[in-house]
């Protein structure tokens, strides 16, 4: 009799469990769809690599959303978590190999896969290379600083043996690398790494929980806080004493990168990609007939001028793309947002850098 009564109880328990699991699945799917509609899938889901910094989980396909939250640009990420191809090992003889390092300019926020700067650089090199074939591989992530890029080359890219490494230096590259978040490279985030839920947890929620944040020394935190209080102040006054701590970390990273590239038998090129803010201010100078005023121009281009000065003792000549963008025949910032070049501007950058590679 007891055995007969036990069966209905187990049946009720199983139905309740199945109902609870079903509700849970529906809730998770609903949350995922809602977060996607709110734009939480517009960038690739990321994690913190202790050796490099923030990176994208590999093998993702993501839509970047426009201002109306509608999908506009589709982005495919390769097996390393970057856009574009992963070049084969070993190298094909006779093919020039270029590696590009950088942040969102390199990554190509707001443009299709075939419109990014590295893709257009390969196109320009093969068109102007006099019959020699070139291949370009990109290693970049939005928000990276030179320290992240130097570490990414050291940890990931040396094995590809590039002939030339092009470091894209941008207006916000004096900021210090983010300290990052613990545990995001663990199994939970590997399981949910390609979801909008994972993106929201990693970027919006965990950074508010002290237990997940990697502690940094008070001096570094103070420098980061000072920079973020006015993100334009340090770059626009890059030759002044308050910028020195930021230069110290940026130049140390460039020196590490240069040592690695030279040890691998390659050549390092540093290219400066100007901000929309700088181009707009230079246009105002041109409109007022003051573009040749060295003092007025330096007030806008202090960052690239100071960068060129600091690269010179290393034997590096800066490839400054400012005038190339300023003289573009059509609007170079023609992408989804005004903060990044669109296809036209990236083509201008690629053409300018290609001349220095060849």
- Tell me which of 153-157, 250-254, 289-293 is least confident: 289-293
At 29, the pLDDT band (50, 70, 90 cuts) reads confident
Say what the pLDDT of residue 1 is. 46
Q: Which residue has the higher pLDDT, 68 or 15?
A: 15
Say what the pLDDT of residue 273 is. 98
**CB of 184 closer than 8 Å to CB of 207:** no
**CB of 116 closer than 8 Å to CB of 136:** no
Q: What letters, b where the CB count within 10 A reaches 16 and e where it falls short, cover 310-348?
A: bbeeeebebbbbbebbbebeeebbbbbeebbbbbbbbbb
**Model-level pTM?**
0.88
Q: Which residue has the higher pLDDT, 192 or 156?
A: 156
Say what the pLDDT of residue 104 is. 95
**Quick one: average pLDDT of 157-181?**
94
Q: What rounded mean pLDDT belongs to the chain?
A: 89
pLDDT at 159 over 60: yes
Say what the pLDDT of residue 39 is. 64
Nearest to 323 by CA among 178, 309, 355: 355
pLDDT at 223 over 70: yes
pLDDT at 187 over 50: yes
Burial class (CB in 10 A: 0-12, 13-18, 19+), 185: middle
**CB of 113 closer than 8 Å to CB of 343:** no
Tens digit of each residue's pLDDT (9 = 90 or more) over 97-155 = 999 999 999 999 999 999 999 999 999 999 997 889 999 999 999 999 999 999 999 99
Which DSSP letter does residue 220 get? H
**Quick one: average pLDDT of 215-237?**
91
Burial class (CB in 10 A: 0-12, 13-18, 19+), 217: exposed
Q: Cβ atoms within 10 A of the Cβ of 299, count?
A: 13
Nearest to 232 by CA among 281, 271, 272: 281
φ, ψ (nearest 5 deg) of residue 183: 75, -5
Sorted by where each starts, the structural domains of the chain and their CATH numbers stand as: 1-64+185-212 (no CATH), 82-179+216-357 (3.40.50.1110)
- Tell me which of 46-50, 96-100, 317-321 is least confident: 46-50
pLDDT at 5 over 60: no
Say what the pLDDT of residue 216 is. 81
């Amino acid at each position: 009799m007891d055995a007969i009564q036990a069966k209905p109880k187990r049946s009720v328990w199983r139905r309740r469990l199945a109902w609870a699991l079903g509700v849970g699945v529906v809730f998770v799917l609903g949350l995922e769809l809602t977060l996607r509609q709110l734009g939480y899938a517009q960038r690739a889901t990321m994690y913190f690599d202790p050796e490099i910094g923030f990176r994208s989980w590999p093998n993702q396909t993501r839509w970047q959303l426009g201002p109306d939250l509608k999908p506009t640009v589709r982005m495919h990420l390769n097996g390393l978590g970057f856009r574009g191809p992963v070049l084969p090992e070993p190298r094909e003889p006779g093919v020039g190999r270029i590696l590009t390092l950088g942040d969102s300019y390199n990554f190509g926020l707001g443009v299709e896969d075939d419109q990014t700067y590295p893709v257009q650089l390969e196109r320009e090199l093969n068109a102007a290379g006099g019959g020699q074939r070139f291949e370009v591989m990109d290693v970049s992530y939005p928000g990276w600083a030179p320290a992240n890029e130097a570490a990414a080359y050291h940890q990931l890219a040396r094995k590809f043996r590039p002939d030339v490494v092009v470091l894209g230096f941008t207006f916000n590259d004096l900021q210090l690398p983010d300290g990052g978040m613990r545990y995001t490279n663990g199994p939970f985030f590997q399981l949910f790494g390609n979801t909008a839920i994972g993106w929201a947890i990693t970027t919006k929620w965990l950074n508010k929980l002290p237990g997940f944040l990697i502690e940094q020394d008070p001096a570094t935190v103070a420098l980061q806080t000072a920079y973020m209080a006015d993100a334009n102040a340090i770059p626009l006054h890059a030759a002044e004493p308050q910028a020195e701590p930021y230069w110290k970390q940026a130049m140390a990273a460039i020196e590490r990168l240069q040592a690695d590239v030279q040890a691998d038998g390659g050549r390092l090129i540093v290219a400066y990609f100007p901000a929309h803010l700088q181009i707009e201010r230079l246009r105002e100078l041109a409109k007022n007939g003051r573009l040749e005023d060295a003092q007025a121009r330096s007030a806008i281009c202090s960052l690239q001028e100071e960068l060129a000065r600091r690269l010179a003792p290393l034997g590096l000549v800066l490839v400054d793309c400012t005038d190339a963008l300023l003289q573009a025949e059509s609007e170079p910032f023609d992408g989804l947002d005004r903060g990044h070049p669109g296809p036209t501007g990236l083509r201008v950058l690629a053409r300018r850098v290609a001349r220095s590679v060849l």
